[in-house]
Structure 1
Amino acid sequence: MIRGGKSMVSSPPAFSNDAKKLLICTGNTVSVFSTSTGLQITELEGHRGLVTSVIVVPASTPASKILCYCWTASLDGTIRYWDFSLPELIKAIDIRFPIFFMVIPDIKEQEQPPNNLGGQIRKCNLTQSRLANGVTLAETQNPEVITICSSGKYIGIREKCKIRIWEVPAKDSKNAVLKKIRLHHTKKLSILAFHPTERIIAAGDLTGRILIWRGFGHKTFSIGDKSIKRGLMKNEDERPGVRGDDDADSCTTWHWHSAEVKVLFFSSDGAYLYSGGKEGVLVVWQLDTGKKKFLPRIGSPLLYFINSPDPSLSSISCADNRVHLLKMPSMEILKSIAGIKLPWSVPEISKGSYNGLLDDREISEVQVCERNHQPGDEVTVIVTLVALSQDGSMMGTVETKLPEEGIGGLVSLKFWTCGAQNKNFSLSTIIYEPHRDAGVSAIAFHPTRHIAVSSSYGGDFKIWVRNHEIQQKDQVLQNAGWTCHAVGSYKKKPMTAATFSADGSVLAVAAETVITLWDPEKNVLVAVIGESLEPIVRLSFVGKSEYLVSASQGSSPQVSVWSMSKLSVYWSYKLHAEAIACAMDDSCFAILALLPKSLNYTESNKTMLQGTDDGVILLFNVGDPVPVVTWFVKKSKGGGLAFLHINPASLEENLSDEKPAPVLLAYINGDHEYVLFDPYGEQAPECSVTRQGNLVGLEEAGQFGYTSIYGELPEFNLKRNQTPSVTFVPSEKPWETIFSGSSHNLPPLTKLCTAFLESLLQKRTAVLE
């Protein structure tokens, strides 16, 4: 089983002490990426639940920056200690409660987890692998994100319109004195941040305002400190912006963001404050003056901003499941680590994307509609349908522009062509309102020809044909686009689903509750079969098209198998099918069905359902109504299935100690996480995956001398067209490109010789005791 598509932005990432690695929480694992190449290096596997926190143990000395230790916390109730350079699990601590967030005040002693009924902030002694006796810092109605100051002395949480701040007790004692304060605001707060060196705390609210309290806790946390007590302001009128008797010297409000502030972070020297949110703009505030500058057009709402130990490198996590590495202070985007886009519309799984699926890497991106990211809450354009041809060379999309105040709605059908070399899709044809003012219910491509069909809720379907490519005098091929070849309808009923047979000789279109069979060449109705109680929403031919599978949804959902030779139902089940996938060269098919409890899905029970099995994948042989095998799955609502018919030779490079299967079944859940597995295997063991993309830069591989400058010598092979199994990733060492370019751009000889001679020396790492 190969897993991928995990969210990379469910929790804040963490940099290694040398800033060469970025640790990202990805589902039940932590993925380690190279900051120089943006490629995955390794993975920390062991947690049985969602990993909610990753914290790198800070280096105590400059020489210890090479040490790679981290703590992770998970909803499985465990805290784990890793050496992520190997990677190897060193120890695990069972807290017995789901851990929603974790902070570490210092290296020796440690923090919290909230429980599953409400929220608790607990202290844990990591050196003794136990919860601190009797030390419960706070209880909250819901688990809250904990923020800690850099010194580890104070922690804080937001609670509706208040900030609660505690002074962390140093001893695991029931008699430990817990000092705490509250700071109040008129709006609900969304995030907070501590200044690295001074008693300053910043908080953002849901309206886009940023509040900065200076001198917080002087009265409460500084008892006995005479130097601070002398500086306290006793006159209430001399505390501008502070509400009531809040323990702070002043409170300042800044307002630029138009919506909720999601990112708030002080620079390492405390001179600047970074903020961001739904606008997709990173704002940098000068703390003393309030002046600001911007990194605009990031293209997605911002979630987290993290500084690295290297002041010239930071990361920003975005809601589109992408992590950008930034060059500071210019805020230039150096690299981007991208996952599958998080759910907006359900994507199709491409038959031609095996390398991307096996390596869990994005290989291409298509911007269906040209529009900049807008921070407004109202969605104006939705991609409602995506369909791919069997060979992956063509794609069809449908986008709907929602009407404003009942007017201005627009449906667009677009056809795309995939490039032979770069595998990127380019727009071929746009058809506005392809079915008048009605919505498009389905798109299907002919298996062997450049023909497609679109069905409409307005009561018709259209067959589209791509014109032949025209050879111009300059020898450039130009596509003439797609045109309508034929139009069909049946008793003015809504056409709700469509599919071609395996050889393309039969077109099946669902006319609401019946299935119509057409000759696509002549556009002639051949037969009408079936009569379901609910509208049919999915159709798919099985194998050589001897059988047809249909799925209807409504109060009485049903999955039916139809015999094409008898034009009658073969067998059926009362199931709510979320997706159907049929093997092209076999007589089997798979159904993703929702369990009854998931049919009543709401936001209120979302958390409960995501932790339990709410769906089932059933694999059938078309001639037998008894499932061949069954898998229970999570997050099935909005999920999809697809059979991947692959070349075993191409998979051998990605799977070790495992005989590659000719057919894999891909399941993608409602959160766009996917699993690839052999549906015919007795078990679905975790495969040992060797990702071609998981390459470390040469500076991390420890190469030196000739190879550090020119790379490895290629092996001599008589097969000229043989494709190398390892992709060369150039290093960022300055001398690798120092001999390239025009002569007037070469550096002086003194710099050239120094870099060259250093590259010939083998470097040894010495650990200081």
Structure 2
Amino acid sequence: MEECMEVPVHFKGGGSFVNFPPIFSNDGESVFACSKNMVVEYSAKTGKLLHEYKGIQDKIIGFRCCSFNLYECIAACSVNGEVAIWQTTSHFKVFQKQIPLKKLKTFHMIPSEEKLRALVSYKFKKRICFEVITLSANKKYTVFSIEHSKPDYHVSVGNGYFSVAWRNKLDFIKFGKSKQVSSVHIDDSLNFTCITTHPTEEIVLTGDSLGRVRSWHDIFEKKKVQTIFHWHTLPVRTVCFSTSGTYFYSGADECVLVKWQLEDASNRRFVPRLAAEINHIAVSNNNLYVAVATRDNAIRILDSTLHQTTVIQQLVLGKHYDCGLTYDHRTKALITNGNQGQVQFYSTDHMSLLYNVDIVVQNKITNERQCTMINTEITKIAISKCGLWLATVEERNDDLYSSEIRLKFWKFDLTHQKFELNTSIEYPHEKSINSLAFQPVLKSNVICVTVGNDNKFKVWKLTDASTVYKKDAMWLCLGIGFHRDLPCKALSFSADGSLLATGFGKLLTIWTPDSCELKCSLTHPLHIESINHVCFGSGLNCHLVVAASTNQVSAWNVLTLTMMWSVCLPVSLLISDGLSGHMAAITRNNKVYVFSPASPKLIYASQDLLKKYDNIVAATFVPSKFSSDVRLEWHQRTPIFFITSSNELFCLGATEGTDEFTEYEQYEDVSEGFFSKMQPLSKVNMAKTSTVEKIMFEKDMGHKSIKKYLEAPIHTSAPVRFLCYSMIRALSLQSN
């Protein structure tokens, strides 16, 4: 068994990069965002990734644009006080400092042309302390402190002062030796939810839990002046001033961006029906662009007329992953839940979002103040082996009225390059659907099987529905299977699609999908738990079926109808690799066990794969670019991609890129012999100077030597007996 450290785990995407407000560069051409422990720069016009600023080890708690040595820079600070500053033109790190404070909460740069100063906050005992730190010198002093607040406090730095909003209290603190402090309270039943300061004047905007935006004037006077702007129904999430400060923007969970005039509360404009709730808003210095960070892990760039020009989209953060992870061989993409009512195709090669498919085709219903609205959710997806058919299940159940269940079949239009709805079936089962799978064959008359909570499985087949006007096809129910009225939760096709395995209660049943004929029913007297997962083997193990219940995994031989082995394991996910024949069982305590169905002996076992607060919610095997090379280990051919409960995508196996594998097509093996001496000398020199250090095996994968021999004129070629050695050596494998 391989040790855990021999199989690397790499971060491949996901995680929120909209936890902090995006920041525009001074010229407005670039927009910066924070992702985990690095700052990323994108083009505001095209959305293209321009640069990644790395060098901070821990999680970033804040980043800001600043001026350092008369150059525009970006500064970031980690939770452990590591501060780094990069120059945005050269992308070099020009400053690094360790703040002697730990467990920092917030980080803000103080606008100043003379000194490089920052305002940080941290928890000390039962209070939150605010300190001003001069980064260019070892100077710091505490300016303010508040009680430890739940919900969290909100900080904004203005011109010569900063403001802190916590619970229902708002504090204004001036920088300097005087430390002038002014405070104001609102109703005890309300809480402040966000805050921002005016670019030049002593004006502060706050949002509250009632959906109101308040403008505070004369903040250091005894009697403060406030103006109320009220449109939002839900708590205000963010407010942001324009560069001039004459107008501002606000956003909340209604998915609507509102533009307000500071001097006229009745003058407002709206950008409705955004894809997700608004987290943050930023405005460029020239007021040409507005960046709206939404909760679906996207930054939408709007122009001055509030029309969307660019979308910077990372892995869409779904609220759940009921669909799991499905690999599409045609697009080489992972399919999973995306925005509300949509599925996303995420490229594993480029680690970028390819596109979304709107399944429910409904506007998202946002929550009311005292009511949570239920939207239609995508619960199951499956894609055919050829990648041209997509099956989806959508359900809606509010526990008050009748539930909605739809099974939809989508066909990929090669002309328009998009999925189009072919068949929509209302209530394919009387209750919700547990599992969905296509027959793993490339033929056109493929079938699909669904398993429902009504204790039945149904076989769906594509049938001809042509008319005199056009040729068409639609999906109809071919047959229904059930067994002793036992609950049915899982299904799996054999490698050739001729058999179907389903779990009815504690029984493992084998059926012929075309006729719904029961072939056998397998059980063990000591196994009393219901089967939750079923996987057919592949390759040499195509006659084996692995079934998993809540605490047990067992393998059955469908030829001899006997149990091969059984082990106790708290399984939450069971996945299979059709290429290598291996399977992986993921337990509820985040352990991954890779094994062959023929033996309970483990091929790989991980002990501490993730942190304790992260759970693996979906996983699948994904073929790498070296999947056809049988000389490599399983994790190099088909690594495991999995998503955690924190919406982060990881890869168990493979490498961070392709550094450990040399491109075979770029390497020519030129042997010493008659055939090699026929090549130009310059090519021989180039091949000899090439250093191939990390390659595991050398082989002329492109068959360039053979092609050149076959294409050469016969009358100029050497006798075949002199070329045999060189040709055979070019085709053979070498150990080093």
Matches within 5 A, 1:183-332: 183-186=185-188, 187-218=190-221, 247-290=222-265, 291-328=267-304, 330-332=305-307
Aligned-residue offset at 1:118: 6.1
How many angstroms apart in 2 are the aligned matches of 1:16 and 1:642? 40
Among 381, 384, 403, the residue aligned to 2:379: 384
Q: Secondary structure at the match of 1:645?
A: coil
Spell out, residue by residue over 1:109-165, the C-alpha distance to the aligned partner (whole angstroms, 9 max, x if none).
1111324976634325353475725556445245845432441x2222322222233
SS in 2 for 1:37: coil
Q: 1:147 aligns with which of 144, 151, 155?
A: 155
Question: Which residue is equivalent to 1:223?
Answer: none
Contiguous gaps of at least 5 residues in structure 1: 171-175, 219-246, 596-614, 652-657, 691-769
TM-score, normalized by length of structure 1?
0.74
Aligned to 1:120: 128
Matching residue's letter, 1:319: R
Q: Is the Cα contact below 8 Å between 1:10 and 1:52 reproduced in 2?
A: no
| Matching residue of 1:243 | none
Alignment of 1:633 onto 2:610: yes
Which position in structure 2 is the counterpart of 1:507?
Answer: 500
Structure 1 residues 74, 127: CA separation in 2 closer, same or farther (over 3 Å shift)?
Answer: closer
Give the aligned partner of residue 447 of structure 1.
440
Does the aligned pair in 1 maintain the 2:488–2:503 contact within 8 Å?
Answer: yes
Q: After superposition, what is the alpha-carbon deviation per residue over 1:203-224, rounded to whole angstroms, capped at 9, x for unaligned?
A: 2112212222221112xxxxxx
Change (3 A) 1:422 1:169: farther
Q: Structure 2: give runs of 5+ residues left out of the alignment.
A: 1-9, 334-346, 662-736
Q: Which amino acid aligns with 1:633?
A: L
Residues in 2 aligned to 1:575 and 1:96: alpha-carbon distance in whole angstroms: 44
The Cα shift of 1:403 comes to: 4.0
Matched, 1:350 2:327: yes
CA distance in 2, matches of 1:671, 1:424: 30
In 2, distance between residues paired with 1:472 and 1:327?
50
The residue that corresponds to 1:103 in the other structure is: 108
Cα separation, 1, equivalents of 2:253 and 2:544: 49
Match of 1:578 in 2: 572
Q: Which residue of 2 aligns with 1:567?
A: 561
Kept in 2: contact 1:418–1:425 (CA 8 A):
yes
Equivalent position amino acid for 2:292 in 1: I
Higher strand share: 2
- The reply on whether 1:498 has 2:476 as its aligned counterpart is no
Partners in 1 of 2:552 and 2:480 — Cα distance? 29
CA distance in 2, matches of 1:394, 1:669: 28
Check whether the contact 1:259–1:375 (CA below 8 A) recurs between aligned residues.
no
Cα offsets for 1:602-632 (capped at 9, x unmatched): xxxxxxxxxxxxx222222332433424261
Deviations 1:607-663 (A, max 9, x none): xxxxxxxx2222223324334242612464352111122444999xxxxxx999432
Alignment partners' CA distance in 1, 2:426 and 2:440? 25
- Distance in 2 between residues matched to 1:583 and 1:314, nearest whole Å: 45
Q: What's the Cα RMSD here?
A: 3.1
Deviation string 1:243-275 (CA, Å, 9 cap, x unpaired) is: xxxx44322323211111112112221211211
Amino acid at match of 2:515: K
1:169 Cα deviation (Å)?
Answer: 3.6
Q: Is the 8 A contact 1:385 1:399 kept in 2?
A: yes
Q: For residues 410 and 143 of structure 1, do their structure 2 counterparts lie closer, same or farther at Cα, with a shift above 3 Å needed?
A: closer
In structure 2, the CA distance between the partners of 1:687 and 1:24, relative to structure 1 (3 Å rule), is farther
Alignment equivalent of 1:488, drawn from 481, 492, 505: 481
Residue 677 of structure 1: CA displacement? 4.6
1:117 and 1:566 map into 2 onto residues whose CA distance is 67
Tell me which moved more, 660-669 or 373-382.
660-669
Tell me the distance in 2 between the aligned counterparts of 1:98 and 1:493: 54
Mapping of residues 355-366 of structure 1, within 5 Å = 356-366=347-357
Checking the alignment, whether the CA contact within 8 Å between 2:108 and 2:157 is kept in structure 1 is no
Counterparts in 2 of 1:129 and 1:468: CA distance versus 1, 3 Å: farther
Instruction: Tell me how far 1:95 sits from its aligned partner.
Output: 4.7
Match of 1:594 in 2: 588
Of the three residues 454, 461, 467, the one matched with 1:458 is 454
Worse-superposed segment, 478-487 or 495-504:
478-487
The CA deviation string for residues 659-692 of structure 1, in whole angstroms up to 9 with x for no partner, is 994323212222332123536xxxx5666699xx
Percent identical residues: 21
The question of 1:425 aligning with 2:419 is answered: yes
Is 2:528 the partner of 1:524?
no
Task: Assess, with a 3 A threshold, how the Cα gap between structure 1 residues 454 and 93 changes in structure 2: closer, same or farther.
Answer: same
Q: Does 1:159 align with 2:166?
A: yes
Q: How does 1:608-647 map to 2 (within 5 A)?
A: 615-622=590-597, 623-630=599-606, 632-634=609-611, 636-637=614-615, 639-647=617-625
